[in-house]
Structure 1
Amino acid sequence: MGDEEDEDLNSPEAILARYPLLKDKSKKDLDLLSKRLRRRLDIRMLPIITLCLMINYLDRSNVTNARVAGMQKDMGMDDVQWSLGISLFYVGYMITQLPGSLILAKYKPRIVIPVMMLGWSIPTILFPFVRSPGGFAAARFAVGFAEGPFLPAVALMTSSWYVAEELPFRMALWHGAQALSNVFGGPFAAAVLENMDGVRGMHAWEWFMVIEGALSIALAIAAGFMLPNWAHNTPWLTPEETEMAQYRIVLSAGGIDENKSSMGIWEGAKLGAKDPFTWLFMLLHFWLIAAQSFKDFLPSILKTMSSSNLMTYLLQSPCYLLGYLAILGFGWSSGRFKDSVWHVIGPIILSAAGTVMLITTLNVGVRYTGVCFLIMGVFSGLNIQVSWSTQLVPGPRHKKAALLAIANTFGSSSHWYTPYFFLTNQAPLYRFGGGLILVSIALTIVTVLATWWYVVRLNKKLDVAEAEVNVDRVARGLPELTKGWRYPL
């Protein structure tokens, strides 16, 4: 064999040699450049992503607060018609996830993501013109159609900028926007829904939709200026930072360069569909989303613990704030200890305890604590699951985009049936819905353990193959290769 065949092309030294502006720098200089790049991303990308996700989640769940303010009654809908509208949102949401994510993987995020935001803002602003159950269902379908690719798009973009140990906490910052939106969403809903009824002849919930849609449009415009594209074509990076951005991700992915793939959009989708990890994370995402089924009905659940609509709106904030802090805490811990398995299982066991507290007693204090535990656990587990999936499939980008979109699409299908588990005749304990959550949590644990078993099996195969290569190298008088990339647990 020749020397070229003996060279480890994916060693840290060989990877660094691919980048002419970096290869002669000292380790200290590389570390400083990496920190400078990470700081720029943290300051410029993460805040706008978090704000966009906040408005996205607020837009997704705004009808739950509007329902308390009389939206369902004003449109003349019964519970089944209302649940149909909630379900149709997720039909539209699922249709666009895969094609939208693959389009984002090919084109520029700073253009595609703002277009998505404008797509859901327009039907939100037009909600005051909706006057029937059919109109409600159509409007919610349109909003879901535009929102579909957004979450997997943001996950894909984040995983293309941050390395494995940085990723869980950075994803937690924006993934926690779901909880954070409700921290501010409750007081925001209270301010609008309690004070603007009758202003200019409009219902308070109509003003709620108009104001929220306008905020979303403003953020879409800001995102067009603030967001990056990909590591190789972001205009506000210096040439050195551009190479460092690529080097960091390639090194973390064991030599895979997602920017160098010539793979077509649908070729990536086929690869993603064939990967067993896609199927495992489809199931895992499905059960975690099913365990979150309460969130579309949380104001109605909290109303059974309060004496007024105002108190119902405000009660959401403390439990969602605790949820956000839990997401950050588990995200930091996951990256710090490089563990995903127990950082999914641990939080959702907390959620199981919270669910039992919620459905087995009428004591308001116990039930409210149960709501807090429920939110803290399932939201934290979902964040770690998304982060873990991008680490297990580091590239090519279209394949990773397909995995995220397929998993999220399949997970979202649980919304076709979960709304029917929280009908008003189940109040105040909602035991039917609580039972659904407990079953979903149990199946989440089973799926995590199955994924753990598969990862261990793959890593053992890599160990054996690497050992065989090293035996051959030693026999030829060559040094052993250092241990290469492994599938993270």
Structure 2
Amino acid sequence: MASSTTLVESIPEVIDSDKQKKSFLQRLGPSSYSAERRLLFKVDVSVLIFASLGYFIKNLDQSNVSSAYFAGMREDLSMYGNQLVHVTSCWAAGYVVGQVPSNLLLTRVSPRYVIPVLELAWGLATLGTFAVKNVNQLFAIRFLVGLCESGFYPGMHFILGSWYTPRELAKRAVAFGIAGTLGTVSSSFLQTATFKTLNGVNGLAGWRWLMIVDAAITFPVALLGFFCLPDLPYSAKPSILLNRDDIALARARMRAIGRKETEPWSREKLRRIFSSWYIWILPIEYVLWLNGAITLPTQYWLKSFNTTPPPVPGRRFSVTQIQLLPLPTTAILIVCAFTYACLSDGPFKGRRYPFVYLSAVLHLVLNSVWLSMPLYKNIPAHFAYFYATGLTGGAGVLILNWINEITGGDTELRALCVALGNDLAYVVNAIAPNFVWKTADFPRAEKGYKYSLSMF
């Protein structure tokens, strides 16, 4: 085994941003880059795989209420008017409470304890959802789900930013995000399959079985985290996957790009953090981005064809169609987001802003198009619009990458800015939908679309 000194001496050449990415032919042969590639493979296995599985489960548990709403929960719990928006707001309220404390906790307590414990807790809350008898109980339990899920997304972005350089981070962060998107998509497939196979079994509706199935998937992934997640590089200890040389290499990589280890809290540190522009500007950019995103009206629009009297006589959509027809939008979003990430890490040498600008322009154009379209004329054009919205995906992750990178000189500031960006975005998101994205306003949602335009 090579000594840690030998590995560390090779690092400055390896991680230089302009030299880090070599050609395909150069990658085929042995070089000084092999040690770093081995480290990246190990970190991908120990961090990225768990992060992706966990985010898949988080979004599955987060979105299952929306899927259940369109498959019987609305009628069973007498959810009418804006109550689905209120349920979402309860989840968001719980979500904003825990993000900053949990992210700061990660600077002091090993991620392998913080993140899996939170995941076990939200799995239990998801399981409890199957037994709710009325919408008030649903409000309360969704608050608990949001509270327990609050530390995962900002926490994993903080952890990813602790192990990867700017020429590696975007691809990993988008892969992490894609896993969450697949969780949202899978909720539709899972709800459809559950509704068909388990509806009525043991006297339970299909949407109640969905909560049980989601919880059953969540618990093993949480247990995996206790074994997979390492500490942060500066506090990591040798494990099954990472040996002493790996940790020495990881620490040197972070030093070379200016990532600092944790510091004790002090009055001077607090003054330095809160007098910097980072804490006041960076989170707001993410707030504007996240709240500028639209609530896509695809399912509401499809379901509106089934009202009486029908807006288009003879045209109806089944429950299965309402669940599955929106999915191509997600496929396009995934491809687009990963393409942006590869370009940002690669030819653009870690620059994030070109793709943030591109996504913002696409949002402005597409949102304006929707407001000018007659609601029930030229149905194929509506589907084209719904699917084109997938082209705007990925910029939110790149903004968080940039926050991770620009605040790398202070670990506590980095943890705080990443959490605050996501937290404040959800504070706004917990309130604004009650006024601008009202359930009763769909499928047109004119007020919501104008609100989205104002954000960009």
TM-score by length of 1: 0.80
Amino acid at match of 2:336: A
Structure 1 residue ranges (4+ consecutive) displaced by more than 6 angstroms after TM superposition: 265-270
Say which structure, 1 or 2, has more relative contact order (CA 8 Å, 6+ apart). Answer: 2
Whole-angstrom CA distance in 2 between matches of 1:269 and 1:157:
22
Q: 2:403 aligns with which of 389, 406, 414?
A: 389
Alpha-carbon contact 2:170-2:344 (below 8 Å) kept: yes
Matched residue, 1:62:
64
Q: CA deviation at 1:25?
A: 5.0
Whole-angstrom CA distance in 1 between matches of 2:387 and 2:281:
28
Alpha-carbon contact 1:343-1:381 (below 8 Å) kept: yes
The equivalences for 1:174-253 within 5 A come to 174-232=176-234, 233-234=236-237, 235=239, 236-253=241-258
The equivalences for 1:101-180 within 5 A come to 101-180=103-182
Whole-angstrom CA distance in 2 between matches of 1:312 and 1:398:
45
Q: CA deviation at 1:186?
A: 2.3
Matched residue, 1:484:
none
Q: CA deviation at 1:343?
A: 1.2
Superposed CA RMSD in Å reads: 2.3
Deviates more, 1:242-251 or 1:351-360: 351-360
Q: How many residue pairs were aligned?
A: 417
Q: CA deviation at 1:293?
A: 4.5
Whole-angstrom CA distance in 2 between matches of 1:219 and 1:265:
37
Q: 2:365 aligns with which of 317, 329, 353?
A: 353
Whole-angstrom CA distance in 2 between matches of 1:266 and 1:71:
51
Q: 1:425 aligns with which of 413, 434, 440?
A: 440
**1:305-345: CA deviations, max 9, x gaps?**
76111011112321111111111111111112032112111
Whole-angstrom CA distance in 1 between matches of 2:197 and 2:268:
53
**1:355-393: CA deviations, max 9, x gaps?**
23334323332222322332431x311011010111110
Matched residue, 2:310:
none
TM-score by length of 2: 0.85
Are the structure 2 counterparts of residues 43 and 319 from structure 1 closer, same or farther at C-alpha, using a change threshold of 3 Å? same
Alpha-carbon contact 2:282-2:421 (below 8 Å) kept: yes
Amino acid at match of 2:250: A
Whole-angstrom CA distance in 2 between matches of 1:204 and 1:408:
33
The equivalences for 1:312-461 within 5 A come to 312-336=322-346, 337=348, 338-361=350-373, 362=375, 363-377=378-392, 379-415=393-429, 416-440=431-455, 442=456
Q: CA deviation at 1:148?
A: 1.0
Whole-angstrom CA distance in 2 between matches of 1:269 and 1:409:
20
Deviates more, 1:29-38 or 1:319-328: 29-38
Q: CA deviation at 1:420?
A: 3.8
Matched residue, 1:477:
none
Q: CA deviation at 1:157?
A: 0.3
Amino acid at match of 2:345: G
Identity, in percent, stands at 22
Deviates more, 1:216-225 or 1:360-369: 360-369
Are residue 257 (structure 1) and residue 260 (structure 2) matched?
yes
Unaligned runs of 5+ in 2: 15-30, 306-315
Q: CA deviation at 1:218?
A: 1.4
Amino acid at match of 1:211: V
Matched residue of 2:107: which SS? helix
Matched residue, 2:313:
none
Whole-angstrom CA distance in 2 between matches of 1:106 and 1:429:
47
Q: CA deviation at 1:152?
A: 0.8
Matched residue, 1:456:
none
Matched residue, 1:449:
none
